[in-house]
Amino acid sequence: MDFKFTPENIERINKEIAKYPVKKPAVMATLYIAQEQNGFISNEVIKEVSLLLNMTAEEVLGVVTFYTMYYQKPMGKNHIQVCTNVSCMLRGGYEIWNQVKEKLGLENMGVTEDHKFSLEEVECMGSCGTAPMLAVNEDYYENLTKEKVEELLKSLSQPLS
Amino acid sequence: MEKIVLPEIDNLHVLDVYVQNGGFTAAKKAFSQSSDDIIDQVKKSGLRGRGGAAFSAGLKWSFMPKTTDKPKYLCINGDESEPGSFKDRQIFEYNPHQLIEGILITCYAIGAKIAYIYIRGEYHKWVKLMQKALDDAYTAGYVGEAMKEKFGTDFFCNIYIHKGAGAYICGEESSLMNSLEGQRGYPRVKPPFPAQNGLWGCPTTINNVETIANIPPIINKGWEWFSKIGEPKHPGTILFGVSGHVNKPGVYELPSGTLLTDIIFNYAGGVPGNKKILCVIPGGSSMPPLRGDQLEGVKMDSESLKAAGSAIGTGGIMVMDEDTDLVKVLARIAHFYHHESCGQCTPCREGTGWLEKILKRILAGNGSVNDLDLLITVATQIEGNTICALGEAAAWPVRFMVTRFRDYFEARVSKEINLEVANKVHSMRHTAIPLAEIKN
């Protein structure tokens, strides 16, 4: 199935392109926008982005695979990222990681069948002073305790009214 | 003590509040002087980069060619991915306009018309906060073409934010430039250095967020004032991020040269349960760790830390109490560098994997005493043999932790020599050609 950007998104991409002397540097922002619209980076997305920015599909794929924040498969609606790097680990990061893993029944990079949740073990997110932490999509949750995580997962499981 | 980068003023992130507190007067002052004068003042102030290498900021600026037909660029490094560092996000959140003003002055000094602020992808919130501040500054006429009228000068520059997408290596300056150009974030071979051949082959300067946030006060209050704060060889305040086993983790802005023990016990509230300190990493995870009995009298500035056997790095202080499993910590650090190695250079790509593998073997209780030698042999052969400093960043924690905590690690491995491992250590030591010989 072909992928086409919405007119609004084309406008956003043009604003990104205007920041640079050439088109190519806008690839990172364009991929974010594509991921937002499509849910993940498919081969069709890569093709469309490459046409839009005068790049080869291989160049775009190279960017997609180099960075950890572009996903080549659909992730959950709530993508949970738990940091287990040293500062978080010293303050219970692995306990939080195991708790979320058990609760959702997922391994690293796993997605629940209903696509409501996915899980990722991430490297340092820059929350060392407010450790342990996890992020749900773009939002940080810091100074976590087991109770807070329990509550958070519960609130995310509830259907949206 | 006066705070320079993060002063305690309510709502300083709001443009009006920033202006009411003397905001943008430094830029106005700077534009009435020659660019050489500005570089000279920053040089004399002794300001050193806050991103890890502690290189003189003014000297770095002076490498930019005076006459060139190419456009010049400024990059602000806000990738902040070193485990233990979380200072730049405070500037994005609490004092973004001082960063913007610093960028204006820096662009003027080096002759750049465009500046990019590279912010790590995970910092969605801080990208938005910084963008909001930037939009406000544009609307009020402090940035862009409108600044000509605002400041009554011929000079103007544009500032853009470039968002990363999750790669530690993009904090390395040449990798950052490749990433900004829309490529995989591979570090470049130096020379040529960015000042000659940077973004799109044009002269480029890359500075850390905190470094540039220091510029407006230096211009306003003078280089003499700045050079007298803290340690003379590394003057100014430093944002110390304290994490791990302390009662009050967080970012503390203190004069350089503050005692490490003072930061841990007075500012960060000491160790919970009054436990003893086993280990401290003083500058982010890639810096050599110090033993608990090595902390007394250590001052937190570049020169003093070098003398104490470590480095200032990004000022991220990680504290570990006596109950910490150091093997687990080191294995986690090794996993991080293995994960983040970009894969260009064989010693780093393969070596970081081996370090992780060996440490996991020790962690599982299957290590032998010569595994410790193997760790040091592998680490030593990564160091100095890679394009960028990630090689050192991966090797240092392993080499120094195993050496400085030899007894601790020996207690975790079997005393019996594993002949297979011994063979490996032996053969690696004999086949490795010393760098000096290759150069001849």
The verdict on A109 touching B (C-beta cutoff 8 Å) is no
Q: Which domains does chain A have, with CATH numbers?
A: 7-66 (1.10.10), 78-157 (3.40.30.10)
A19 interfaces chain B, CB cutoff of 8 Å: yes
Distance from CA of A124 to the nearest CA of B (A): 5
Q: Exposed, middle or buried, B320 (CB in 10 Å: 0-12/13-18/19+)?
A: buried
DSSP B292: G
**Residue-wise pLDDT tens digits, B396-439:** 999 999 999 999 999 999 998 888 888 888 777 765 555 455 44
The distance of A55 to chain B (nearest Cα, Å) reads 10
pLDDT more than 70, % of chain B:
98
Residue A13 CA to chain centroid, in angstroms?
19
pLDDT of residue B433: 52
Q: Which of A24, A28, A127 shows the shortest C-beta gap to B163?
A: A28
Instruction: Name the CATH architecture for the domain at B239-321.
Output: Roll (3.10)
| Spatial distance between the Cα atoms of B422 and B374, rounded to a whole number of angstroms | 8
Cβ atoms of residues B196 and B152 within 8 Å? no
pLDDT at B439: 44
Answer whether A123 touches B (CB < 8 Å): yes
Residues of A within 8 A of B242 (CB-CB) are 129
pLDDT value for B271 = 98
Q: Which long-range contacts (CB under 8 A, 24 or more apart) does B223-230 make?
A: B223/B41, B223/B42, B223/B44, B223/B45, B223/B46, B226/B45, B226/B46, B226/B47, B227/B44, B227/B45, B227/B46, B229/B4, B229/B255, B229/B256, B230/B255, B230/B256, B230/B257, B230/B258, B230/B301
Q: Does domain B326-433 correspond to CATH entry 3.40.50.300?
A: no
Structure tokens at B75: 């990059």
> Of B378, B286, B314, B402, nearest to A85 (Cα)?
B286
User: What number of residues does chain A have?
Assistant: 161
Question: Would you say residue B341 has pLDDT above 70?
Answer: yes
pLDDT digits (tens, 9 = 90+) for A32-90: 999 999 999 999 999 999 999 999 999 999 999 999 999 999 999 999 999 999 999 99
Cis peptide before B289 (omega within 30 of 0): no
A136 interface with B at CB cutoff 8 Å: no
Determine the distance from the C-alpha atom of residue A6 to the mean position of all C-alpha atoms in its chain, rounded to a whole number. 21
Q: How much is the pLDDT for B432? A: 56
Average pLDDT, chain B: 95
How much is the pLDDT for B422?
84
Residue ranges per domain, chain B?
15-227, 239-321, 326-433
What average pLDDT does this structure show over A127-151?
A: 98
Closest listed residue to residue A107, CA positions, set A122, A123, A121: A121
Confidence (pLDDT) at B435: 47
Cα–Cα distances in Å, from B131 out to A137, B93, B429?
19, 11, 52
Whether the ω angle into residue A132 lies within 30 degrees of 0, i.e. cis, is yes
| Cα-based distances in Å from A14 to A7, A41, A42, B125 | 11, 19, 21, 23
Residue range B135-157, pLDDT digits in tens? 999 999 999 999 999 999 999 99
Residues of A in contact with B168 (CB under 8 A): 123
CATH code: domain B15-227 is 3.40.50.11540
**What's the pLDDT tens digit per position in B347-377?**
999 999 999 999 999 999 999 999 999 999 9
Mean pLDDT of B66-91: 97
Q: Give SS3 for B310.
A: coil
Sign of CA dihedral A113, A116, A121, A123: positive
* Dihedral in degrees, nearest 10, Cα atoms B221, B227, B231, B236: 40
User: What is the C-alpha R_g of chain B?
Assistant: 23
- Residue B111: CB atoms within 10 A of its CB come to 20
3-state secondary structure of B293: helix
Strands B114-119 and B158-163: parallel
Is A12 an 8 Å CB contact of chain B? no
- Tell me the ipTM for this assembly: 0.97
Q: How far apart are CA A42 and CA A48, in angstroms?
A: 10
What integer pLDDT is reported at residue B423 of this predicted model?
83
* DSSP one-letter code for B256: T
The secondary element (H helix, E strand) that includes residue A31 is: helix A27-38
Q: Residue A158 — pLDDT band, cuts 50, 70, 90? A: confident
* Helical pair B96-110 and B124-139, crossing angle rounded to 10 deg: 70
Q: Is B167's CB within 8 Å of A139's CB?
A: no
pLDDT of residue A160: 60
Closest CA to A27 of B167, B180, B74, B161: B180
Output the pLDDT for position B399.
Answer: 96
Helix (H, G, I), strand (E, B) or coil at B253: strand
The two structure tokens encoding residue A150:
């329990």
Kindly report the number of other CB atoms within 10 A of residue A65's CB atom. Answer: 12
How is residue B65 written in tokens?
């060619």
Residue partners of B397: CB distance under 8 A and separation at least 6: B281, B285, B286, B287, B288, B289, B330, B333, B334
Distances (CA, A) of B123 to B128, B213, B439: 9, 19, 43
CB contact under 8 A, A26 and B333: no
Nearest CA in chain B to A29: B163
Shortest CA gap B166–chain A (Å): 5
Q: What is the dihedral of CA B8, B12, B18, B20, to 10 degrees?
A: -70
Closest by alpha carbon to B286, among B166, B209, B396, B123? B396
Looking up tokens 């902390």 gives: B295
Instruction: Determine the residue among A65, A71, A86, A139 to mutate to test chain B binding: the one whose Cβ has the most chain B Cβ atoms within 10 Å.
Output: A86
Q: Which run of H or E residues covers position B118? A: strand B114-119
Of B182, B200, B251, the CB nearest to A129: B251
Query: Are β-strands B250-255 and B204-208 bridged in parallel, bridged antiparallel, or unpaired?
Result: unpaired
- At A22 the three-state DSSP class reads coil
Phi/psi of residue B117, nearest 5 degrees: -100, 115
In chain B, what is the straight-line distance between the N-terminal and C-terminal CA atoms, in Å?
A: 53
Tens of pLDDT along B189-237? 999 999 999 999 999 999 999 999 999 999 999 999 999 999 999 999 9
- The four Cα atoms B53, A88, A121, A105 give a dihedral, to 10 degrees, of 180
